[in-house]
Amino acid sequence: MNHNNGQKHVPKTTGHAWDGDLQEYNNPVPKWWLVAFYISVAAAVIYWFLYPAWPVGGSYTKGFDTITYVNDKGETKTTHWNTRALLMKETNEAVAAQKPYYTKVANTPFEKVTLDPELNSFVVSAGKQLFSDNCAACHQQGGAGKVGFAPNLTDDDWLYGGKFVNIQHTIIGGRHGYMPPFAEVLNDQQIKQLSDYVLSLSKIVVDPASAQAGNALFHSETAACYYCHGDNAKGRQEIGSANLTDRIWLWANVPGANTIADKEAAVQSVIRKGLNRGVMPAWQDRLSADQIKLLTVYVHELGGGK
């Protein structure tokens, strides 16, 4: 095959020959490419003068370009161009643009934030971003939570209270759910009776006699469940104990169990092993007070804020 078919110009060779007859074409790069190359070399020289470039002893040439920014103390500073100063400038410009909203959120009582349409739309859009970055890993996108791991934030059931101040308190300091294990305190029959009682509270049909015995046990000093879950089994928000009467399940996956036996087993497992999990990290060191307030309103608005 001849590649030069139909071409007027036959390129020269470099004149070298290897292995007797192996030759090499000499195709210089196009002129436009060469010009662009020299322009980029010239640009590099200009760059050296504008930006940090050459190491000199224990330092380097800083360049003539500058950045002026305002720091968090309100001082205006000018420095040679560098990415950290550029970030300060861009951040401060963005913060300045958001500041009227943040200030307004900070100075407005919780209840009124939701009533102001402009403020509310700011909370929803900024809150959604904060929630996705920080909360969604456990509470899932949208806040529906995960049975066996993290509570649903869109229903109106709250372990630690669903008022603005409760939610804010939870975000600031985090939470650590705890229930002692009862495997060594109660026998298998007692644990079954308790699980039947707990299921009966959610209107799940179980052996009534067993549930009745569980009821007595629940309120006895032997099991003393009422201590934390309350006489009415509705839980106590000041210690985060669960409401057992609302058909909402966090640790025992009762909705996911098909048979009554499986539902009993799910509840019994929690009674036996107790819980030393449900750890929510504290966010006070990671998020600002303004961001936490904004998130509080956002979470409150997810569905079930009280």
Partner 1 sequence: MFNFKHEWIETNVGLLLVLTMLAISIGGLVEIAPLFFIKDTVEKVEGVHPYSPLEQRGRDIFQREGCYLCHSQMIRPFRDEALRYGHYSLAAESQYDHPFQWGSKRTGPDLARVGKKYSNEWQVAHLNNPKSMVPQSVMPNYPWLLKTELDYSDMTDRMMALRAVGVPYSLNKEEYESNVKRFGAEEAKMLNIADARKNLIAQAQENNYDGDNSSITEMDALVAYLQVLGTMVDFRKYDDDEFVKYR
Member of 42, 44, 94, 165 binding partner 1 (CB under 8 A): 94
Going 190 to 192 to 197 to 201, the CA torsion angle's sign is: positive
Distance CA 123, CA 290 (A): 11
Least spacing, CB of residue 246 vs partner 1, in Å: 24
Distance CA 254, CA 265 (A): 9
Q: Is 84 in the site for partner 1 (CB under 8 A)?
A: yes
Least spacing, CB of residue 299 vs partner 1, in Å: 17
Least spacing, CB of residue 27 vs partner 1, in Å: 14
Q: Is 83 in the site for partner 1 (CB under 8 A)?
A: yes
Member of 88, 119, 171, 292 binding partner 1 (CB under 8 A): 88
The alpha carbon of 209 is separated from its chain's Cα centroid by a whole number of angstroms, namely: 46
Q: Is 79 in the site for partner 1 (CB under 8 A)?
A: yes
One-letter amino acid for residue 298 of the chain: Y
Stretch 45-64 residues interacting with partner 1 (CB under 8 A): 52, 55, 57-60
Distance CA 12, CA 105 (A): 75
Q: Is 96 in the site for partner 1 (CB under 8 A)?
A: no
- Rank residues 65 and 90 by Cβ distance to partner 1 and give the closer one: 90
Least spacing, CB of residue 51 vs partner 1, in Å: 11
Read out DSSP for 134-199? HTHHHH-GGG--BTTTB--SSSS--SS--SHHHHHHHHHH-EE--B---TTTS-HHHHHHHHHHHH
Q: Is 121 in the site for partner 1 (CB under 8 A)?
A: no
Q: Is 138 in the site for partner 1 (CB under 8 A)?
A: yes
Least spacing, CB of residue 20 vs partner 1, in Å: 13
Member of 40, 71, 220, 222 binding partner 1 (CB under 8 A): 71
Q: Is 77 in the site for partner 1 (CB under 8 A)?
A: yes
Buried/exposed 33-59: b ≥16 CB within 10 Å, e otherwise: eeeeeeeeeeeeeeeeeeebeeeeeee
Distances, alpha carbon 141 to alpha carbons 72, 124, 135, 153, in Å: 33, 14, 8, 11
Member of 37, 49, 149, 227 binding partner 1 (CB under 8 A): 149
Please list the helix, strand and coil fractions of the chain in percent, rounded to the nearest 5, in that order.
Answer: 45, 10, 45
Least spacing, CB of residue 52 vs partner 1, in Å: 7
**What character string, x for contact with partner 1 (CB under 8 A) and - otherwise, covers 9-48?**
-----x-x-x------------------------------
Residues 6+ apart with CB under 8 A from 262: none
Give contact residues for partner 1 (rule: CB under 8 A): 14, 16, 18, 52, 55, 57-60, 69, 71-73, 77, 79, 82-88, 90-91, 94, 129, 133-134, 137-138, 140, 146, 149, 277, 279-281, 285-286
